[in-house]
Amino acid sequence: MNDLKKDNMSILVWNELSHSTYWEQYLSQYCNHKQNRNILFNTLMIIFSSFGTTFSCIWKIADKDKSITIYVSIVVFALMLASQILAIWQKNVIISNETERKIRSLRVMYLDYLNEIEKLWIDIISTEIGGDEVEKKYFELRKKVQPIEDLKDSLNIKKLRDPNKKGMKEAHIRLHRKFGSIIPEEKK
């Protein structure tokens, strides 16, 4: 009975280890993705600002030559529309520095938790600790997850396709490098 309990707990610990590794990697990829969006947004705003300045000069010239006034007004209108779209994009897509700081803090919390779960996993595979002891240690560690989950939920982190793929790939590589093929198989 104790061996069966240990086997079941080892599967549970492995799943927790995989989940924590994934989230740590996903948060890293998520922050990088959002930083790249911030850089793109700032670059576009600089470009549109310089166009706005350029077209204000052209507008003064166009005022004298009525034949190009219509074209200049269309371009100016298009630039105003694009800047409004960018402003909406900034509110919905770009994260603030405070949010990014909290996400990085969340990643550190996952790393701390991940280190403890890894230690438990190593204890499981390298020593003869019993199922009751594994269960006790595991549920002690699980008590530390609540603040992590609360912070994660408060940040409303969405699953994004590219960071998700990269996070899964990096988590798999990390687990494989650290633990190789010591992946428990579920008992049928």
Integer Cα distance of 66 and 48 in angstroms: 25
Q: Taking Cα atoms as reference points, which of 23, 14, 21, 55 lies closest to residue 163?
A: 23
Render pLDDT for 26-35 as a digit per residue (tens, 0 to 9). 999 999 988 8
User: Tokens 């990390």 sit at which residue?
Assistant: 174
If you average pLDDT over residues 102-122, what whole number do you get? 93
Encoding tokens for residue 23? 């989230």
Q: pLDDT-based confidence at 66, cuts 50/70/90?
A: low
Render pLDDT for 127-176 as a digit per residue (tens, 0 to 9). 767 778 888 999 999 999 999 999 999 998 888 899 999 999 999 999 98
Q: Name residue 73's amino acid.
A: S
Q: What is residue 167's predicted lDDT score, i.e. its pLDDT?
A: 92
If you average pLDDT over residues 45-67, what whole number do you get? 66
Q: pLDDT-based confidence at 110, cuts 50/70/90?
A: very high
What DSSP state is assigned to residue 188? -
pTM for this prediction: 0.75
